[in-house]
Structure 1
Amino acid sequence: MVAYVMIHNLKEIYEGQARQERYETSKALFQCKMSEGSPVGAHVIKMMGYIQTLEKLGFPLNDEFAIDVIMQSLPDSSNQFVLNFNMNEINKTLPQLLGMLRTAESKKKKNGSKSVLMVRVAKRKRKKVAKSKGIGKTKPKGKNALKPIGGISKDGK
C-alpha cells in the first residue's frame, strides 16, 4: 500500500473512536460543577485537563470561552469573584485564572465565610370558626367599653 492510502484507512478506522471520546470529554466538561467547600485548585485543573484533551482531539476551545466555562462551574459563593472578573474585563490565561482563584479562596478562608441566614416568618393559617347567630359577636361600645387600667404617673414610671 501507498503511505497515503494507509493513513486514509487508519483515519477511517479510528475516527469513530475519536468522535466518541470528544463527545464524552465535552459532556464531562460542560456538566462539571464545583461543590461548595471543595478546593478550587483540583476542580480547575480537572477542567483544564478536559480542555487539553479536546485540543488534542482537534477541537480547541478559545481561551475566553474556556474561562467562561470554568467560571460557570464555580459555586454560588464565588459570584463576587466572577462579577469582579467580568466587570474589570481581565484577560488572563487559564493558569493565571487558577492562581487568582486560589488567592481568592485563601483570602476567603482567612476572613472566614460570613454567611447570612435569612429567616422568613411563616404565615399561620387561621382555622375557620363556625358562625353562630349573633352570640358573642357584638363588642361593647361607648360607656361599656373596657378602659385601660393604671396610667402614667408624673414621675415617668
Structure 2
Amino acid sequence: MANNLSLRSILDANKLTGPNFLDWFRNLKIILKQEKKSYVLDTPIPPVPATDANAEDKEAYQRHKDDNDRATCVMLASMTPELQKQHKHMDVQSMILHLRDLFDKEGCTKRYEISKELFQCKMVEGSSVRPHVLKMIGLIETWKIGISNGS
C-alpha cells in the first residue's frame, strides 16, 4: 500500500487543470499500471451477467466494475474541484473521452495532419506498390499509436 500512496502522490502534486492533460494522463496510466488496473482505460465494463451465469463470470464482472470505480476515484481525486463536478457521474472511459475532447487539441491536430497526409497519398504511375503500401501502413500505425497514447 505504501507504494500505491507514493505513486499516487504524483497525481496529487500534478492535479489535472486542463492544459496539463497529456502529462496528467501519462501519470494516471503509470499509476493504474502499477495497481494492475490500467485495463479499465481500454476495456469497457462487460454487460451485467445473467442471473444464471456461472460464478466466474459474475466475479469477473464485479472485479471489473470495482476496478473501474477505483480508477474513477483516483482520477477524480487528482482533478481540480471544477473538473470533479463535471465528471463525478462518469465512468473511466467516458471521462477520458470527454477530457480528450476538452483538452487534447494538440493530439487532435496531429491526428488530423496524419489523416490529411494519408488521404493525399497517391502512387506515382509506374512505381512499385511496396513503398506506397509501407508508407500508408506507417501513417496508419502512427495515427493509431496517437489514439492509444492519448495524443
TM-score tier after normalising by the smaller chain length: 0.3 to 0.5
Larger radius of gyration between Structure 1 and Structure 2: 1
**Which fold has the larger relative contact order, with Cα–Cα distance below 8 Å and residues 6 or more apart in sequence?**
2
